[in-house]
Chains A and B, each alone.
Chain A
Amino acid sequence: MIVEIGHFALILALLVSMGQMVLPAVGAASRDDRLMAVAQPAALASLVLVSISFAALTYAYVGSDFSVANVWANSHSAKPMLYKVSGVWGNHEGSMLLWVLILVAFGASVAVSGGHLPKTLQANVLATQASISVAFLLFILLTSNPFERIVPAPMEGKGLNPILQDPALALHPPFLYAGYVGFSMAFSFAIAALLEGRTDAAWARWVRPWTLAAWMCLTLGIAMGSWWAYYELGWGGWWFWDPVENASFMPWLAGTALLHSALVMEKREALKVWTVLLAILTFSLSLMGTFLVRSGVLSSVHAFAVDPQRGVFILAIMVLFTGGALALFAARAGSLRQGGMFAPISREGALVLNNVLLATATGTVLIGTLYPLVLESITGAKISVGPPYFNMTFVPLMIPLLIALPFGSFLGWKRGDLVAARQRLMAAAVVTLGTALVAGALFWRGPWLAPLALAVGVWVIAGAVSEVLFRARLGQGDRAEVFRRLTNLPRSAWGSFIAHTGVGVMVIGIVGTTAWQSEKIVPMKAGDTAEIAGYRVTLKGIETRRGPNFGEEAGVFEVPREGRTPLLLEATKRLYDAPRQPTTEAGIHAALSGDLYIILGDAQTDGSFAVRLYFNPLVRFIWLGAVLMFIGGAFSLSDRRLRVGAPRKARPPMAVPAE
């Protein structure tokens, strides 16, 4: 019964969204207040209805109601509660429901918090938002209904793919989707702006917090996925340039560009057309990410044929929204008046460079990901585009971006002074050079590029520190005075400092673990000792055990440490009961300097076990960097200037103080 209520609520949500899509838009066009007033309650009603629907599916999962086909196919009564709940979105149908839930939640929050928006803008935004809901609700109801029943109900479910039974991966999709779907806000605002033929600093001020929030979620979501891959897939890798990863990385790159161009628009009213285009493209890439992953064209060309209906449907959604938005853009972009001139050497110029490089990187990842698909469908030739391609193209685009970053933040708006910026970055340059030399001396055996790459990460951090100190006018006034100035810096300044530091930290982690990882593959019997990166690792023994829904073999390793209790690490191989599938749990000793990482392999013919030992230097910095980016975003989001809803009356661009 509850399941049917969920299904019914979803149908009602579709009807409400249809109303929300049409009436407010008509109202905005004809300046009819009563029609526009429909948007707000409709957005709230959609949220309530989809929440009911989502709660009903969760209820079915928690109670292991195997008469629901979706629960039967993806759950099991013996599964721990956390994974019964996360099982709701650990499958196609449920994850699409989560997608829509987040979508209507964003819509409802505009309805609630957007009271100060111009009426027509709010109506158009909510109507656009509803059109996306309609498309995805139709998709769910017509091709991916999670509420389908099976008669007679089976006794037991098939279980959730064991590699998905993991805390980080339970949270990975909600964050990822919050990011994808959050960009729909920027999209809806862009469409509304094009419909009205008007964008200004106030528009950018409204769009930026949503984009920032979405970007933060996506950052964390991608980082969680990478972290999960690191410890679950089991050979110390953290990013594979896998098409599924690229699908989430492209919106992130475009979203990062959007954040920066919206900043220019907010402060200087420049780059309007470009910002609107980026807002459209970012969400289009999110849609494409959903399409690539959900249609199955990526995992295998054959999966597409297994259920062509879904793939074609979601492809149609993508073409409709991207194509429609771009057509609207082509027709109306000319009506957006450009403002705010600037010299090439200026903060605006630097942010344009940021956008050029990020957009090119996005395009490169896009082409690398889709090229094999397109080539095969045109010529039938099968090629692979793997990590070597992406490393060769993506990295050279990022290096100039990272080198230019500190300069950019020292340049003034409108016209910057590169000589002054260079002087102010002198200390940072010295620190960077010192790092390169020390790293070069320590690791003279190579790879020779690594110390330079490491220095780039240090440069970004040192540049960010220099900027904050410069803003606090270090050296002018006593220490208390400087400290007071530091605490008085706006939160957004701290936000950009923390986020950019995060970028540098991540670069250091990537370089460290890529360049100086060490690896050893040895057969080990109980009592054997192997040595790696200064650790002496002894296999104490192999234990056979039972978990709640799996059996496992655990290799227990002991690593002596000077003056402290020895480390005990467990590397296990699990075999899950349903579905019967093996997984590997790495034994990891995490430290900031690097991880000791142990994998237990198969038993060899002589009774020993294949053991793989890794030392991954600085690998923690990668995720630490992502977390810093998230925190930086949160600081920026909490800035009063962003949060204060009603924008100050749009001032003429010339009067905006150059910060």
Chain B
Amino acid sequence: MGRISAKIDRRGIAALAVVAALSVATSGAVDRAVAVQPDEVLTDPALEKRARGISAGLRCLVCQNQSIDDSNAPLARDLRLVVRERIKSGDSDEAVVAYVVGRYGEFVLLRPPVNASTLMLWIAPGLLLVAASGFALRLWLRSGSATPDAVMAEAPLTSDEQARLDSLLKRPTD
């Protein structure tokens, strides 16, 4: 199975990716038609299910933003076959993923690993939530302090306003 993947070294992949990206960019084409072919499907449904699960998390390198499970690009098919080959030879899910990452780098992982360069990515939602909550709390505290007395103390009525208020209060109701 290493046949194709061995032939295409990393530079080849990169060149291929550029060509594909350019052709996609210029034509605007998104071709997501048919991915997994009947001849790829493993006979053991449990193994096939594992293969599908793994494939859904691996990026098709020559596509815009597709997993190899969704893409009908030849390279995606090759990778799907590699994944199934490794599963059949007894690799665990982690070992299969590690094998693919070893070949193509972390770029293939649709779920980026947690490490120094992705730390911000993973903690950002939590930080944002804390920041937004803090902002809301401040808003609330500010609104709490805006009692009529506090507002009056901050900006007492001008003499004009006081006169107008007096006249309004004095006006007989009908």
Q: Are A270 and B143 in contact (CB under 8 A)?
A: yes
Q: Are B105 and A233 in contact (CB under 8 A)?
A: no
Q: Are A604 and B38 in contact (CB under 8 A)?
A: yes
Q: Are B21 and A234 in contact (CB under 8 A)?
A: no
Is A355 engaged at the interface, CB distance under 8 Å to the other chain? yes
Is A561 engaged at the interface, CB distance under 8 Å to the other chain? no
B56 to chain A, nearest CB (A): 8
Within 8 A of B (CB), among A190-239: 233-235, 237
Beyond A338-B146, A352-B140, A388-B111, whether A235 also contacts B70 by CB under 8 A is yes
Is A550 engaged at the interface, CB distance under 8 Å to the other chain? no
Is A397 engaged at the interface, CB distance under 8 Å to the other chain? yes
Fill in one digit per residue for A61-74: 1 if any B CB lies within 8 Å of its CB, else 0: 00000000000000
Q: Are A240 and B65 in contact (CB under 8 A)?
A: yes
A163 to B31, CA, bound (A): 9
User: Out of B32, B66, B124, which one reaches A363, CB within 8 Å?
Assistant: B124
Is A327 engaged at the interface, CB distance under 8 Å to the other chain? no
Is B167 engaged at the interface, CB distance under 8 Å to the other chain? no
Q: Are A383 and B106 in contact (CB under 8 A)?
A: yes
Q: Are B25 and A359 in contact (CB under 8 A)?
A: no
Is A420 engaged at the interface, CB distance under 8 Å to the other chain? no
Q: Are B25 and A296 in contact (CB under 8 A)?
A: yes
**Residue in chain A with minimal CB distance to B154:** A337
**Which A residues lie within 8 Å of B33 (CB)?**
233-235, 573, 582-584, 599, 601
Is B139 engaged at the interface, CB distance under 8 Å to the other chain? yes
A242 to B33, CA, bound (A): 16
**Which A residues lie within 8 Å of B157 (CB)?**
none
| A interface residues, how many (CB within 8 angstroms) | 69
| B interface residues, how many (CB within 8 angstroms) | 53
Is A114 engaged at the interface, CB distance under 8 Å to the other chain? no
A359 to B144, CA, bound (A): 23
Beyond A383-B109, A604-B38, whether A579 also contacts B27 by CB under 8 A is yes
Is B6 engaged at the interface, CB distance under 8 Å to the other chain? no
**Which B residues lie within 8 Å of A237 (CB)?**
32, 70
Is A612 engaged at the interface, CB distance under 8 Å to the other chain? yes
Beyond A364-B124, A382-B107, A387-B110, whether A356 also contacts B129 by CB under 8 A is yes
Q: Are A521 and B65 in contact (CB under 8 A)?
A: no
Q: Are A299 and B24 in contact (CB under 8 A)?
A: yes
Given A233-B30, A274-B139, A300-B21, 6 more pairs with CB closer than 8 A: A233-B33, A356-B136, A364-B125, A367-B120, A382-B105, A521-B38
- A sample of 15 inter-chain contacts (CB < 8 A) reads A161-B29, A274-B135, A274-B139, A300-B22, A338-B146, A341-B144, A355-B132, A356-B135, A359-B128, A364-B128, A375-B118, A383-B107, A383-B118, A386-B67, A604-B37
Give B contacts to A, CB under 8 Å.
Answer: 18, 21-22, 24-25, 27-39, 41, 57, 59, 64-67, 70, 105-112, 117-118, 120-121, 124-125, 128-129, 132-133, 135-136, 139-140, 142-144, 146-147
